[in-house]
Structure 1
Amino acid sequence: MIELAFAKDTNGLLPAVVQDYRTGEVLMLAYINQLAWEKTLETGKAHYWSRSRNSLWLKGETSGHVQLIKEILVDCDQDTVLYKVEQLGGAACHTGYRSCFYRKVTGDALTVHEQERVFDPTAVYGAK
């Protein structure tokens, strides 16, 4: 098993930058712990640690928008990973956009940047 530096963070979490393996588009940033790392390596599907739910999370478990791992890069300090993925279903963001980085700063506001929703999050996750 490849050892990452989970002990560097008091919560045992490391950032995972997620990128489309074909285009290089940054899709999201999430966090992994040892369990998420092991499940990702074991299954070839991206698993993360949900800080809000305090639980293991298989990306796409509810929405069907799974991330298949194509390549994993590890930084020099072994405390950040880059997942290059095939994004199934077209959307990485729980808000329904392809990328979590769908807004840009325009003056003193955030505006949607060159993206349309792939799915309606209320229909997928229910009302919030």
Structure 2
Amino acid sequence: MTGFGVEDFFLLRTGKACPVWTLTDDSNVIGFGESQGVISIAAELDRDQAAQVRAFGNDVTKTSCRITISGEPLAFYLVGKRITDRIWRGIASVDPIFVPNVSMVSSWEERAASNVVKFPVRRAG
């Protein structure tokens, strides 16, 4: 990168030097943002990188990642895990020994929408 590093790029584009990333099973596009559910930038992973992330299980795992965003080549690590059968999430970090703390990992989990009203079910009979 010219003039600044990967963390600076992420900080300028997402508001965090180590943003949250999300990958789903229907696309190889990975999204980065300040927090879960917020996507500030996105980039397409190649088939091999997407397969490496999709191989993540229920334990926190790490893989190296090289992508180009807005013409800037970026090299960093994806630290994360499988959240559901369709979603993988974690933190992007340039630190090869980065270990997320328990509160970070718990913040990756899917939460039920709080603005959903459950209607009573009428039973036939």
TM-score for both structures, normalised by structure 2: 0.26
- Which structure: larger Rg? 2
Q: TM-score, normalised by structure 1?
A: 0.26
